[in-house]
Amino acid sequence: MRTYLFIIIAITLVSCHTKQEEAILDTAIDSTLQLQVTSILESKLSEINAQSGQAIIMEVQTGQIKALVGLERKDSADYQPSENFHVQQPTSLMHPISLLAALETEKVELDDMVDVGNGIYHVDGEELKDHNWHRGGYGEISVKQGLAYSSNIATYKVMEAAFGNHTQDYFNLLNKMSYGKPDSITGIANLKSYSVEDGNTTWFCIGYDQLITPIQILTFYNAIANNGKMVPPQLYKDSITVINPLIASQTNIDKLKQALLFNVTDGLGKTVKSNKVSVAGMQGTIVINEEEAEYGIEFCGYFPVDNPKYTMIVSINKGELPASGGLMAGDVFKKIVDYINK
């Protein structure tokens, strides 16, 4: 009985200023898929004792939202529906977006080599670490491998090579690529533009010092899947609108797609590799609140690779380690992919 409640809440969420009967007819959400996504997400949240999670599936060409699931642990041990799709936080999925900006400068290529050393790099008196720093780091790797290994140091060094001290050029490119759009979606209350907390690229380029929602990150990844054409997510079956006809050059979009596929075939994204359909995407883990040891774990990607039909993001917040975007959010992603392609 409680499972069906999620569908009712989802329909209520999108009804907004119309009658519920009209919303049932007009909503783009697939009720059967919504149920299954809810079940898969809830099971993983319970397994890893997470605080909350979201799973959103978007149709690549139309922008229609086929599943919109938000769950949160509140007063009881059970997970309850959450409508906090407008809540912003840092993102662990920034590495590919920063790489695309760097590629646009034509100063960086995927095959360029970068030395990430022992996994610890000192920047302005602070330590920038890779996830495997305690195992000695990756040493010298290619830019493409740096993305596939979720290397913070590789991303930072790529930014150095592309932008040097011209920090504003990076932010100008992000604006040109419509990063952080849209700032409103009919049916999702209180959505607003992403915000920059610090204009320094050191931490911003790997997802810190900014606040953004998972659905806005999803929109950007969907544009990559859609050959650079950014369309807004929509909860109603409506005419297709366009935010940006081409967020970056087609050449660099293709390069990034190659890197995101490599991540799944040969990188830390192997956890989402499916024997049913080809997948490309990115995983990530980020500290949301250091004092309370809260982590954001995410996976965002699209499938099938050759002719993408869906883009999906799984975003989970949990306290305490272990926390892994690939192993945890990626597991939810893979199970949903396999369900869709059964």
| Cα separation, 114 vs 135, whole angstroms | 18
Distances (CA, A) of 42 to 3, 48, 314, 324: 10, 10, 12, 17
Tokens linked to 96: 């590919």
Residues 104-140: tens digit of each pLDDT: 999 999 999 999 999 999 998 889 999 999 999 999 9
Q: Which helix H or strand E contains 43, and what residues bound it?
A: helix 31-48
Give the HSE-up count for residue 234: Cα atoms under 13 Å, Cβ half-sphere: 18
Q: What is the pTM of this model?
A: 0.92
Residues 225-276: tens digit of each pLDDT: 999 999 999 999 888 999 999 999 999 999 999 999 999 999 999 999 999 9
In the chain, the amino acid numbered 101 is A
In the chain, the amino acid numbered 100 is L
Give the HSE-up count for residue 29: Cα atoms under 13 Å, Cβ half-sphere: 27
In the beta sheet, which residues pair with residue 27? Answer: 236
Tokens linked to 128: 């920038």
